[in-house]
Structure 1
Amino acid sequence: MPAPGANDRPIVIKRVKKVAAGHHGGAWKVAYADFVTAMMAFFMLLWLIANPDKQRLKGLAAYFSPTISDTSPSTPVMGTSEGAGGQARRSSNDSSRANGTPTSEAATSGAARGGTADVPDTSMRVLASELQIALDAVPQDQARKNVAIEPERAGMRITLMDTDKQSMFRPGTAELNPFARALLAKTAAKLAQAGGQIAIEGHTDATGGGQSDANWQLSGARALAARQAMIASGMTPDRFAEVVAMGGTRPVFPDQPDRAENRRITIVLKAEAPSLPTDSSFKF
Structure 2
Amino acid sequence: MSKGERPIIIRRPRKVTVAHHGGSWKIAYADFMTAMMALFLVLWILSSATPQQLRSVAEYFRTPLSVALAGGDKQMSSTSAIPGGGPDPTHIDGEKERIEMRLESRATDVQRQFVALQKRIESVVTADPQLRELSNQIRFDMTPYGLRIQLVDTEQRPMFETGSDQVAPYMRDLLRALAPLLNEMPNRLSISGHTDSVPYAAGVSGYSNWELSADRANASRRELVMGGFDNGKLLRVTGMGDQLPAPGSDPGDPVNRRITLVVLNREAAQLIRDRVGASLGLGELATSR
TM-score (norm 1): 0.51
What is the aligned counterpart of 1:232 among 226, 233, 249? 226
Alpha carbons of structure 1 residues 141 and 238: separation in structure 2 relative to 1, 3 Å: closer
Which has the higher mean CA deviation after the structures are superposed, 262-271 or 143-152?
143-152
Is the 2:125–2:131 contact (alpha carbons within 8 Å) kept by the matching residues of 1? no
Partners in 1 of 2:144 and 2:111 — Cα distance? 5
2:136 is aligned with 1:145 = yes
Alpha carbons of structure 1 residues 157 and 143: separation in structure 2 relative to 1, 3 Å: closer
Partners in 1 of 2:145 and 2:208 — Cα distance? 32
The alpha-carbon deviation at position 136 of structure 1 amounts to 3.5
Equivalence for 2:81: none
The alpha-carbon deviation at position 253 of structure 1 amounts to 5.1
Instruction: Report Cα offsets for 1:211-259 as digits up to 9, x if no partner.
Output: 9460000000000000000000001211111001100011115652111
Which has the higher mean CA deviation after the structures are superposed, 148-157 or 244-253?
148-157
Partners in 1 of 2:159 and 2:134 — Cα distance? 16
Is the 1:124–1:152 contact (alpha carbons within 8 Å) kept by the matching residues of 2? no
The alpha-carbon deviation at position 140 of structure 1 amounts to 5.8
What is the aligned counterpart of 1:155 among 146, 161, 179? 146
Give the partner amino acid of 1:167. Answer: P
Alpha carbons of structure 1 residues 125 and 207: separation in structure 2 relative to 1, 3 Å: same
Partners in 2 of 1:242 and 1:206 — Cα distance? 23
Q: Give the number of equivalent residue pairs.
A: 165
The alpha-carbon deviation at position 144 of structure 1 amounts to 7.9
Is the 2:125–2:135 contact (alpha carbons within 8 Å) kept by the matching residues of 1? no
Query: What secondary structure, in the 3-state scheme, does the structure 2 residue paired with 1:196 have?
Result: coil
2:246 is aligned with 1:246 = no
Is the 2:214–2:240 contact (alpha carbons within 8 Å) kept by the matching residues of 1? yes
Instruction: Report Cα offsets for 1:46-84 as digits up to 9, x if no partner.
Output: xxx99xxxxxxxxxx9xxx99xxxxxxxxxxxxxxxxxx
Give the partner amino acid of 1:177. Answer: A
Alpha carbons of structure 1 residues 242 and 145: separation in structure 2 relative to 1, 3 Å: same
Partners in 2 of 1:152 and 1:255 — Cα distance? 19
Runs of 4+ aligned structure 1 residues displaced above 4 Å come to 140-144
Give the partner amino acid of 2:140. Answer: I
The alpha-carbon deviation at position 183 of structure 1 amounts to 1.2
Partners in 2 of 1:221 and 1:243 — Cα distance? 10
Partners in 2 of 1:245 and 1:273 — Cα distance? 22
Partners in 1 of 2:157 and 2:132 — Cα distance? 7
2:111 is aligned with 1:121 = yes
Query: What secondary structure, in the 3-state scheme, does the structure 1 residue paired with 2:232 have?
Result: helix
Instruction: Report Cα offsets for 1:111-153 as digits up to 9, x if no partner.
Output: 9xxxxxx856111111111112223345368698110012346
1:204-283 alignment runs, 5 A limit: 204-208=195-199, 212=204, 214-252=208-246, 255-272=249-266
Query: What secondary structure, in the 3-state scheme, does the structure 2 residue paired with 1:145 have?
Result: helix
Partners in 1 of 2:188 and 2:141 — Cα distance? 16
Query: What secondary structure, in the 3-state scheme, does the structure 2 residue paired with 1:171 have?
Result: coil
Is the 1:144–1:163 contact (alpha carbons within 8 Å) kept by the matching residues of 2? no
Query: What secondary structure, in the 3-state scheme, does the structure 2 residue paired with 1:159 have?
Result: strand
Give the partner amino acid of 2:260. Answer: T
Partners in 1 of 2:173 and 2:264 — Cα distance? 23
Higher relative contact order (CA 8 A, sep 6+): 1
Question: Between Structure 1 and Structure 2, whose CA radius of gyration is higher?
Answer: 2
The alpha-carbon deviation at position 180 of structure 1 amounts to 0.5
Alpha carbons of structure 1 residues 129 and 141: separation in structure 2 relative to 1, 3 Å: closer
Alpha carbons of structure 1 residues 234 and 121: separation in structure 2 relative to 1, 3 Å: same
The alpha-carbon deviation at position 196 of structure 1 amounts to 1.2
Unaligned runs of at least 5 residues, structure 2: 1-85, 88-96, 269-289
Partners in 1 of 2:218 and 2:198 — Cα distance? 21
What is the aligned counterpart of 2:155 among 159, 164, 180? 164
Unaligned runs of at least 5 residues, structure 1: 1-48, 51-60, 67-110, 112-117, 275-284
Is the 1:198–1:242 contact (alpha carbons within 8 Å) kept by the matching residues of 2? yes
Is the 1:174–1:218 contact (alpha carbons within 8 Å) kept by the matching residues of 2? yes
RMSD: 3.4
